[in-house]
Amino acid sequence: MFTRIALRLIVMIGALGCAGVALGQDRVHNYFNDTALKVKATESPVEKRVILSKSLGDMTQVIDAVKRAPLTSEQDDINLDRVRATLQEKSDELAGTNGFDPVPDDQLNAFSTYIVQDMEQADKTITVSLVVALLVVIIIILLV
Amino acid sequence: MTHFLPRLIAGATRTLSTDLGCTGCVALAVFLASCSTIPPARDEGGLVEGLPRYSLVFIIHGDGDYLYHDTLGNARTADKEVLSKAQAIAERNPDTEVFIFHEIERGHVLFLFPRHDGRAYYYRNGRLLAQKSYWRDQGESRFEPEVRLYEQFTGVQSRPPLRLFFYFGHELPEFNGAGYDASYAKRRVTIHDLAAGVRGIASASGKIDLLVLATCFGGTPYTIGALAPYARYIVASPDNLHLSYFDLEPLESLDVGSDDAEVADFADRFARHAFERLASEVQTAVSVVVYDVNDVGAFLESVADVYDRTLAAANGMSPVSVEHCDCADDSTYALPGMSEGLTILYRAPRFGRMKNEQSHSGWECWRIAD
């Protein structure tokens, strides 16, 4: 079933051409926004941390899976590494490791917003190839 | 041959060009009203005709990833949000002329025929006088299509006494520049292209009174130096800038004189309003700086050579080897007079490794990893 879904997605998104790159980037933005909404919807700090930790971890897995694909270029790998490093730093801050103080319970909502907004800056876009964008979309859907 | 087919298709395709900049063209305007995209004329009695007091030019880059989410989690597209606000400003200010250039992704009709990737709007005295779709790859320089349209819209009319220019988009590269336009992957766009565009729009009418650069990392000695010849005051963000950009509410009811003190005061009010709005809504770093071009010149001159050498070294290096940093972190730039001519508004990010940085010099530089 997953194979059929993946193949249909590849055909559909491939037909969009460059729009597939935008789709990939938007999918990542929306993914973290969905996470923030889930965090804010729950009262329990424990549950908030679980949601955030899982979200950051799953996206890191997505990036690792994409990097293992033979179709990514060297530049793609560099850009993916930058995103991965950013996600890892956020995981560290959430947990209070690697020189960070842990995020206090009463700031978890704000931290979830920070993750979303940090991805939405008007700096240089992290340019990835269409192949990488498609892989990100597919793997997010399949694994996450 | 590359551009022959698009031009052939464009010529055969109905355009939206409805340029009504000339006086005495009432009959033509009536004929075109039924098939143009110009809205019905508003109540003439409520409008102030004649030479507008203000001229606003907006260049809105939308050919890239501009999705963001507001504080309620609603998805928004940054360029469309700015376009909507700029149009509202144009309609609400009866003594203003407004030029809006919206640069969008190059799409295709039926996956084959390319669509125009630029939309231009010309408002005067609160009314939309012209709306035109155009190609963004039809000039010798990056912003030449916009400059040509600006000249076409303005014709031989006198320029208003107060002129403002706004650019909204992702960080304008200081080197390389490939991939800035998603639709033109091989084209390189740098801050010098924007500076050339501003020069074309400023032309013989003197400097732009206030230039607002709503991008990340716009407050560098190099970028400000590139724009300084064409502007009296510049508002920019030396650090990251969230895609909600600078709020445009101060433009909704303009009442500013053109003498230096009034322009400086407006620049300050605009910057403070933008800063307060961002600080209340975003968890990431907020930095808004007003650069008085007259007073920053000495500092720019003193660091120009070292900055140029850094750029030369950074160009050609892997992106992971270079990163932005506050110029004050580098003793080469931490010179007397560094803060001269700057009004710095800064709030550190609420999280991350920079959350304890309580100040910013107002200048952003490059750091090359060892």
The pLDDT profile of chain B, 370 residues, written as one tens digit per residue, is 333 333 333 333 333 333 333 333 333 333 333 333 444 334 333 444 678 999 999 999 999 989 999 999 999 999 999 999 999 999 999 999 999 999 999 988 888 888 899 999 999 999 999 999 999 988 888 999 999 999 999 988 888 889 999 999 999 999 988 889 999 988 999 999 999 999 999 987 889 999 999 999 999 999 999 999 999 999 999 999 999 999 999 999 898 998 999 999 999 999 999 999 999 999 999 999 999 999 999 999 999 999 999 999 998 787 778 899 999 999 999 999 999 999 999 999 999 999 999 999 999 999 987 6
In-domain check, residue B356: no
CB B89 within 8 A of CB B164: no
Global ipTM: 0.83
B324 strand-pairing partners: B366
**Residue B22: predicted pLDDT:** 35
Dist CA B97 CA B161 (whole Å) = 11
In-domain check, residue B42: no
State the pairing for strand pair B208-214/B231-236.
parallel
In-domain check, residue B351: no
CB B168 within 8 A of CB B79: yes
Q: What is the phi/psi pair of residue B212, to 5°?
A: -110, 120
B101 strand-pairing partners: B59, B120
How many CB pairs below 8 A link A and B? 104
Dist CA A57 CA A87 (whole Å) = 8
Tell me which residue range forms the domain holding B130. Answer: 4-17+54-285
In-domain check, residue B265: yes
Total domains, chain B? 1
3-state secondary structure of B142: coil
In-domain check, residue B202: yes
Q: Of B226, B151, B164, whose CA–CA distance to B194 is shortest?
A: B226
Distance from CA of B286 to the nearest CA of A (A): 11
Tell me if B240 and A123 make a contact (CB, 8 A cut-off): yes
CB B322 within 8 A of CB B356: no
Q: Which one of B189, B284, B287, B318 would you mutate to disrupt binding with A, by most A Cβ within 10 Å of its Cβ?
A: B284
- Measured between CB atoms, does B283 come within 8 Å of chain A? yes
In-domain check, residue B63: yes
Q: Is the pLDDT of residue A9 over 90?
A: no
Query: Which among B111, B242, B319 is the nearest to A78, CB-wise?
Result: B319
Whole-angstrom Cα Rg for chain B: 21
Q: What is the phi/psi pair of residue A135, to 5°?
A: -60, -40
In-domain check, residue B314: no
Residues of B in contact with A125 (CB under 8 A): 64-65, 170, 179, 182
Sheet order of strands, B342-347 included: B127-134, B118-124, B96-103, B54-61, B162-168, B208-214, B231-236, B286-292, B342-347
Distance from CA of A125 to the nearest CA of B (A): 7
Residues of A in contact with B171 (CB under 8 A): 122-124
Determine the residue of chain B that is closest to A83 in CA distance. B320
For B216-246, give one letter per residue: b (16+ CB within 10 A) or e: bbbbbbbbbbbbbebbbbbbbbbbbbbbbbb
CB B322 within 8 A of CB B369: yes
Residues of B in contact with A110 (CB under 8 A): 283, 350-351
Tell me if A122 and B283 make a contact (CB, 8 A cut-off): no
Provide the 8-state DSSP code for B178: B
- Measured between CB atoms, does B216 come within 8 Å of chain A? yes
Residue type, position B326, single letter: D
3-state secondary structure of A56: helix
CB B289 within 8 A of CB B342: yes
3-state secondary structure of B13: coil
Dist CA B173 CA B298 (whole Å) = 24
Residue type, position B268, single letter: D
In-domain check, residue B255: yes
